[in-house]
């Protein structure tokens, strides 16, 4: 069910044990070839497909397009709020959902930078009061949920995993919003460090903090070509 299409009296009568899904996007640079709204387009498309298949089990909220993207600010066009403020935004959105009586909230994430402050938000809430601890609050990124399928079948991809403005995101955007893609400009940068212990974007054995323009001057990773 689409949450935003309801009136307040409808919300009052809803089954409060169904899952409220809040998609999390961003507004940030995605290389020379993909639009600023890439993460928001992609997670919204995933969320809409979830709602279409599970319409009787979930209530779908509009995608939060503003993300924690400070590490992208060196490249123009990015609009961001810092992690600390993002945590507070998520906490207050969940509080609003809880005030309406809902018991289950799932944050469906579409931007890597949202993971830490988003997880911080729901962790702080459950430690804040028994009310939130009694709820089910969860967060996951769509590529994490899809990783068993992606690992089992690479679908002809050269990349082993989804990366920022890389092969998977570029392919999905060509399918969803091909008219917005500038494939004549597509380019990427080699990894900042060639090591099995390091990955510039995804959690590995060693996490290294770098701004995106340092990790990739083009703003894209992986093999978008």
Task: Provide the residue ranges of all domains of the chain, joining segments of one domain with +.
Answer: 3-215
Q: What is the pLDDT of residue 157?
A: 75
**Secondary structure class of 116 (helix, strand, coil):** helix
Q: What is the pLDDT of residue 198?
A: 64
Residue ranges for the chain with pLDDT beneath 50: none
CATH topology of domain 3-215: Rossmann fold (3.40.50)
pTM over 0.85: yes
Q: What is the pLDDT of residue 220?
A: 78
Q: What is the pLDDT of residue 158?
A: 74
């Amino acid at each position: 069910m689409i949450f935003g299409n309801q009136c307040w009296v409808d919300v009052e009568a809803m089954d409060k044990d169904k899952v409220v899904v809040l998609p999390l996007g961003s507004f940030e640079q995605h290389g020379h070839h993909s639009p600023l709204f890439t993460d928001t387009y992609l997670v919204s498309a995933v969320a809409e497909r979830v709602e279409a298949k599970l319409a009787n089990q979930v209530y779908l909220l509009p995608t939060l397009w503003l993300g924690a993207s400070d590490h992208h600010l060196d490249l123009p066009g990015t609009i961001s709020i810092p992690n600390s403020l993002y945590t507070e935004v998520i906490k207050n959105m969940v509080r609003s959902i809880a005030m309406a009586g809902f018991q289950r909230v799932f944050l469906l994430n579409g931007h890597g930078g949202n993971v830490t402050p988003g997880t911080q938000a729901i962790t702080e809430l459950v430690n804040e009061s028994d009310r939130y601890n009694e709820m089910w609050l969860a967060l996951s990124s769509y590529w994490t949920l899809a990783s068993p399928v992606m690992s089992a079948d690479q679908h002809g991809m050269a990349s082993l995993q989804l990366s920022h403005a890389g092969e998977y995101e570029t392919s999905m955007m060509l399918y969803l919003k091909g008219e917005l893609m500038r494939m004549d400009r597509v380019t990427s940068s080699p990894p900042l460090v060639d090591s099995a212990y390091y990955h510039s974007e995804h959690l590995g054995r060693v996490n290294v903090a770098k701004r995106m323009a340092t990790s990739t001057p083009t703003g894209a990773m992986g093999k978008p070509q």
